[in-house]
Amino acid sequence: MARPTKSIHGEWTSRWAFILAATGSAVGLGNIWKFPYITGENGGGAFVLIYLLCIAIIGVPLMMAEILIGRRGRQNPINSLKSIADEEGRSTNWQWLGGMGVLTGFLILSYYSVIAGQAMAYIPRAFSGVFEGVTADGAISIHKALVNDPERLLAWHTIFMLMTVGIVVRGVQHGLEKSVRIIMPALFIIILMLVGYGYNTGQYFDQSVQFLFAIDFSKLTHTGVLTAMGHAFFTLSLGMGAIMVYGSYLPKKASIFKVSLTISIMDTTVALLAGLAIFPLVFANGLEPTAGPGLIFDTLPIAFGHMPWGQFFGGIFFILLLFAAWSSGISLVEPIVVWLVENKNMTRLRASVYSGVIIWLLGLLTIFSFNLGREWRLFGLTMFELLDYLTANIMLPLGGLLIALFAGWVMKRNSSMDELGLGNGLLYSTWRVLVRFITPIAILIVFANLIGLLN
Ligand code: PHE
Ligand code: NA
């Protein structure tokens, strides 16, 4: 199976277009909704430290691996892996790794869309002044009212899926670039304003800094470590082929190392700032850091309800959050659609609609897990918790492990060196040692720990 030199779906117009799109994929609900609540659930500092270590040691090298595989293969993850393996004289069974990625994207988007729908539901609430002067209890009951109502969640979930499919139908290279260029800086500014609001709470801001950065390993469980690692994958969009597909549209000359570093730094900054914005509100209002997935919806309205121009900024914030989720959602379906187009001979329209409908249906499980189906449990987890655990904590790290092995062991030294374009110096050797040994071993240790093999 020959490997094309260009993707049939086109290329990014520049290196910046790729950085913007990949940042659009990375920065999303993972940073603003998920990072704060899982940090709260897992005791803060030590969890954050593990997360940061995973970003540096696993995330950056793996992002480079995904981009290089994508750019070398120039097709959907399944075909890219298959044709590279074939070229290197290895088993084409590696394509199944791409298949798992496509499936992971399916599962993630089904709940991602429901949460994005909640962010969307907050846009009219914020603009119309519902949060004006709201108390912590008030904010909690506003969120409860939303999640207790399956019809409303369904309506917003439907709109989000339509928006996402609408873009994917037209091909992701068009439009994504321009919107991300505006959304990201604007989102950054409003988060900074929220951090400023938190800063004014004085002692509670200090308490938050303590919570996020003071390291106390006694608070960290095995599951906490797994969650931190899983989140490093989730937040950087790694382990399922999203970045691989975006890499397949990357022009040959761009430096994979620089773009990976840039994206990872931007993503991490947004997450840490989101933490600094949320926790002062948590502590100042006597809320629990362990409140779970509703955390941002229970806290941010309080800030918007009390700050000058809060009605306006609140509305804008949820619009921006929606856009950030949108650009991530798009990258979650793109691998599936490209696969259906390339391997199943579908048109982009048909492929997008089919995948959209199935993901939309699957989203019902998450919707019901917040209300009618709260008691439907498997292994003690609700359907939403189960999907989240399975994808973020198991499937993404497993995918990442195999991608690292592929880049480090299946691809010959010359192939990856040629594609990375870093020469044969220290930087390249460090990367190769990381993907060959450090990344796989780190992932295996965390898995082994979890199932109690190392105790
Ligand atoms: N990285 C996105 C976020 O943080 C989520 C995502 C995961 C997107 C996996 C694509 C692939 O919100
Ligand atoms: Na992210």
Segment 284-287 long-range contacts (CB within 8 Å, at least 24 positions apart): 284/201, 284/204, 285/135, 285/136, 286/136, 287/136
pLDDT at site 1: 60
Whether 392 lines ligand 1, by a CB cut-off of 6 Å, is no
pLDDT at site 379: 92
- Which atom of ligand 1 sits closest to the CA of residue 324? 12
SS in 3 state form for 28-76? CHHHHHHHHHHHHHCCCHHHHHHHHHHHHHHHHHHHHHHHHHHHHHCCC
List C-alpha distances in Å: 452 to 224, 297, 405: 14, 35, 24
Whether 240 lines ligand 1, by a CB cut-off of 6 Å, is yes
Ligand nearest to the CA of residue 329, numbered in listed order: 1
Mean pLDDT of the chain: 94
Tokens of 35: 């990072």
| Helix, strand, or coil (residue 378) | strand
- Which atom of ligand 1 sits closest to the CA of residue 267? 4
Q: State yes or no: pLDDT of 2 exceeds 90.
A: no
Distance CA(16)–CA(379), nearest Å, equals 44
Distance CA(295)–CA(292), nearest Å, equals 6
Bridge partners of 378? 381
Closest CA to 356 of 88, 69, 163: 163
C-alpha dihedral sign at 281, 283, 286, 290: positive
Q: How confident is the model at residue 89 (pLDDT cuts 50, 70, 90)?
A: very high
Whether 242 lines ligand 1, by a CB cut-off of 6 Å, is yes
What's the pLDDT tens digit per position in 174-225? 767 777 788 888 999 999 999 999 999 899 999 999 999 999 999 999 999 9
CA dihedral 197, 285, 369, 229 (to 10 degrees): 60
User: In terms of pTM, does the model score above 0.90?
Assistant: yes
Whether 439 lines ligand 1, by a CB cut-off of 6 Å, is no
Buried b (16+ CB within 10 A) or exposed e, 131-148: beebebebbbebbeebbe
pLDDT at site 305: 96
Q: How confident is the model at residue 43 (pLDDT cuts 50, 70, 90)?
A: very high
Q: How far is the CA of 425 from the centre of ligand 2 (A)?
A: 31
List C-alpha distances in Å: 33 to 64, 115, 118, 391, 412: 26, 9, 11, 17, 40
State the Cα angle at 141 between 137 and 145, rounded to 5°: 175
What DSSP string describes 295-324? HHHHHHHHHHHHSTTHHHHHHHHHHHHHHH
pLDDT at site 455: 61
Cα first-last separation, the chain: 46
Whether 391 lines ligand 1, by a CB cut-off of 6 Å, is no
Indicate the class that CATH gives domain 15-450: mainly alpha
Whether 299 lines ligand 1, by a CB cut-off of 6 Å, is no
| Helix, strand, or coil (residue 130) | coil
Tokens of 198: 């938190």
Which of 328, 388, 391, 398 maximizes ligand 1 atoms within 8 Å of its Cβ, making it the mutation to test the pocket?
328
pLDDT at site 454: 67
419 C-beta neighbours (distance < 10 Å), count: 21
How many secondary structure helices (H) and strands (E) does the chain include?
22, 0
Using a 10 angstrom Cβ sphere, with 0-12 exposed, 13-18 middle and 19 or more buried, the burial of residue 29 is: buried
Whether 29 lines ligand 1, by a CB cut-off of 6 Å, is yes
Query: What was the ipTM of the complex prediction?
Result: 0.99
How much is the average pLDDT of 3-14? 82
